[in-house]
A = this chain, B = another copy of it.
Amino acid sequence: MTPAAPTPAYRRLSVEERRSQLLAAALSLFANHAPEDVSLDDVAETAGVSRPLVYRYFPGGKQQLYEAALRSAAEELQHCFDEPRQGPLLPRLSRALDRYLAFVDQHDTGFSALLQGGSVVETSRTTAIVDGVRRAAADHIISHLQVTDPGPRLRMTIRMWITAVEAASLIWLDEDKQPPAEELRDWLVEQFVAVLSVTARRDPQTDALVRAVLADG
């Protein structure tokens, strides 16, 4: 890794501020480097503090920092799904996808490393964090569709689409972010309607939903 900018002067931070500062430094590194390429020294250098100070806050070292950074990224990602429950449904989905793709764009290397599996820092805990984000995405969609008791076919369709969006994001990063984010977003929204329409043929609940979504514009 390249040397950091000149170390900023130490200043007294509260425990909470210091913790946030270290976490922000870790997140910025893990977002744009594979986890095996990030050392505690890098985190200390980026935060402008000593390595022992990093250890004092994160005695579990790199693994603990990675998990904390991941938890913080997961929270940020879940905020992408916050969308007022008003106006036509598909533009709401488009706006959420815009924020999601901007997140993927900003955390590219870390996003790929995390989701491609087999990473040195992957554990059942990191997997659980990622699964939590997937579940949150599905819950958001179901709540926007105003379905109180989604049946298995509808839930399966939504979870499959979310997985397909994840796959598309990874391929998109792999292909130098082509096609442009706006085109990818429109394409994903069209796929959402298409797979729901297929499910509608064999599921009355989904059929009613698709009619409502399409009537809604």
Residue of B nearest to A172 (CB): B156
Chain B residues with Cβ below 8 Å from A124 are 118-119
Q: Is A82 an interface residue (CB 8 A)?
A: no
Q: Is A213 an interface residue (CB 8 A)?
A: no
- In the complex, which of the residues B118, B175, B178, B183 contacts A127, with contact meaning CB atoms closer than 8 Å? B118
The smallest C-beta distance from A164 to any residue of chain B, in angstroms, reads 4
Q: Are A178 and B152 in contact (CB under 8 A)?
A: yes
How many monomers of this protein are in the complex?
Answer: 2
- In the complex, which of the residues B126, B159, B163, B175 contacts A118, with contact meaning CB atoms closer than 8 Å? B126
Q: Are A161 and B159 in contact (CB under 8 A)?
A: no
Q: Are B159 and A183 in contact (CB under 8 A)?
A: no
Chain B residues with Cβ below 8 Å from A125 are 118
8 Å CB interface, A164-191 against B: 164, 166-168, 171-172, 175, 178-179, 183, 187, 190-191
Q: Are A198 and B187 in contact (CB under 8 A)?
A: yes
**What are 30 A-to-B residue pairs whose CB atoms are below 8 Å?**
A117-B122, A117-B127, A117-B130, A118-B127, A118-B128, A119-B124, A122-B122, A152-B179, A156-B168, A156-B171, A156-B175, A159-B167, A159-B171, A160-B167, A160-B168, A161-B164, A163-B163, A163-B166, A163-B167, A164-B164, A164-B167, A164-B195, A187-B199, A187-B202, A190-B198, A191-B195, A194-B195, A194-B197, A194-B198, A195-B195
